[in-house]
Structure 1
Amino acid sequence: AKPTAGARQIQKLILLFQMTYVGAPMIYYGSEAGMWGADDPDDRKPMVWPEFQYENERTHPFADKTRANDEVTFDQELFSYYKRLIRLRTENEALRRGDFTTLLADNDKEVYAFGRTEHSNEVIVVINNSENEQAVNLILGGARTYRDAMTGMVVEGSNQLVLLLKRKSGLILVRER
């Protein structure tokens, strides 16, 4: 079945992690376009393109099962999100080759924060995997200013950053020079 809005939010959170974490990210065919499907034969559907119209998916790949009548479209908003994160990774050396440090791992709150640094370039990534809004305090080594890479919002802290993250969300904070 077509992913729910909640499932799409989780997909975006996973992508944010994937594009900022250590290693080479991999995008499975069609994920960036909003395609779905897992079991054979739905794991290799024809690619969805923005300039075409498609029939709704009405039948389940297994004849004895039923499914909802799902509209098939190219997800431009999701595609733009992928492009922004890929561009950020491409343009930021710390996200491609930088050293990695865990800054916070809070299992109870389901919050994880890490830093990536390459020379004077510093990035902090904070991920809230919980179903609730979470307040996060990160200790800094002095006064610093960061810019949220996705919104442009400026975040400042003298010895700590105090952040409020919505449910199933993340922040990418790039240190201002």
Structure 2
Amino acid sequence: MRNIMATDNEPFTKLTQSLKESLKFYGSHSLMGNITGNHDLPRFITFASGALAFNEDDKAAGWNRDIQIIDTIGYYKLLQVTAFINTIPGVPVIYYGDEIGMPGAGDPDNRRPMKFDNLTKFEQMVKDQTTKIVHLRRNNLALVYGDLIMLYSDDNSMVYARKYFNKISIVSFNKSNTNKTIQINLPEYINATNLISSFGSDVRITDNQMEINLKPYSFDILFN
């Protein structure tokens, strides 16, 4: 997940295939922990912002240079990861500091003291959006208990649904640097008539056809 979300080199189709295989192997009854990161890994935003490469010695990087956010696009990529782990089956786990986009290379640079105040505008934005994502999951039964239905994926976009009885959520991602319009024919058992956008994307639903326009490096969560 990390290299797919952080870079343009890996397609979303690889992530959807991995997700299908994981659910098939472990079963929907298993509650897997879905993490943004942990103390053994460099922080995701460090890769996503271009401050660290996947093929370099992450521990040496933490000791030898001051790792900071290079490209603010990393904040939006981090939010995509947060949205992803909160909308797939399992238990979302947000590593401390990822709710504001703290940087960090390999251990121990990824264990910096928590920053509680004097947030930058981007850190505050990530905190606010993360809070909203967590609130949506907590108050939407489809995102907690629903079946996962993969609807679409290509190199830079991915769409799936969660369905729990009459509760439905549709989650969409665009990891490219341009606007993306996705058109999907929905299964008959997904009634999307009353779905509304949580993050302001342009959505059009007619019968069982859905069209959604996503901004660069963005996502949306539709729910009824």
- Normalised by the size of structure 1, how large is the TM-score? 0.77
Q: Is the 8 A contact 2:78 2:101 kept in 1?
A: no
Give 1:160's aligned residue. Answer: 209
Q: Is residue 172 from structure 1 mapped to residue 216 from structure 2 by the alignment? A: no
Task: State how 1:1-177 maps to structure 2 within 5 Å.
Answer: 1-3=67-69, 4-50=71-117, 75-107=123-155, 110-140=156-186, 141=188, 144-151=193-200, 155-175=204-224
2-structure distance, mates of 1:105, 1:73: 34
Q: Tell me the alpha carbon deviations over residues 54-80 of structure 1, each in whole angstroms, 9 at most, x when there is no partner.
A: xxxxxxxxxxxxxxxxxx758222111
User: Structure 1 vs Structure 2: percent identity of aligned residues?
Assistant: 29
Give unmatched runs, 5+ long, in structure 2.
1-66
Structure with the greater alpha carbon radius of gyration: 1
- Would the aligned equivalents of 1:148 and 1:155 in 2 still touch at CA under 8 Å? no
User: What amino acid is the match of 2:84?
Assistant: F
The question of whether the paired residues in 1 share the 8 Å contact of 2:202 and 2:214 is answered with no
Q: What RMSD over aligned residues (CA atoms) do the two structures have, in Å?
A: 2.2
Alignment correspondent of 2:36: none
Report the counterpart of residue 56 of structure 2 in structure 1. Answer: none
Amino acid at match of 1:36: P
- Structure with a larger share of its residues in helix: 2
Deviation at 1:87, TM superposition (A): 0.6
The answer to whether the 8 Å contact 1:100/1:115 transfers is yes
Offset at residue 152 of structure 1 (A): 8.8
Cα distance between partner residues in 2 of 1:130 and 1:154: 19
Structure 1, unaligned stretches of length 5 or more?
54-71
Return the TM-score normalized by structure 2.
0.62
Whole-Å separation in 2 of the counterparts to 1:101 and 1:143: 14
154-163 vs 20-29, greater mean Cα deviation: 154-163
Describe the superposition over 1:72-107 as per-residue Cα deviations: whole angstroms up to 9, x where unpaired: 758222111111000100000110111111011223
Give the Cα–Cα distance (whole angstroms) in 1 for the partners of residues 84 and 170 of structure 2: 11
Instruction: Find the residue that maps to 1:144 and give its secondary structure.
Output: coil
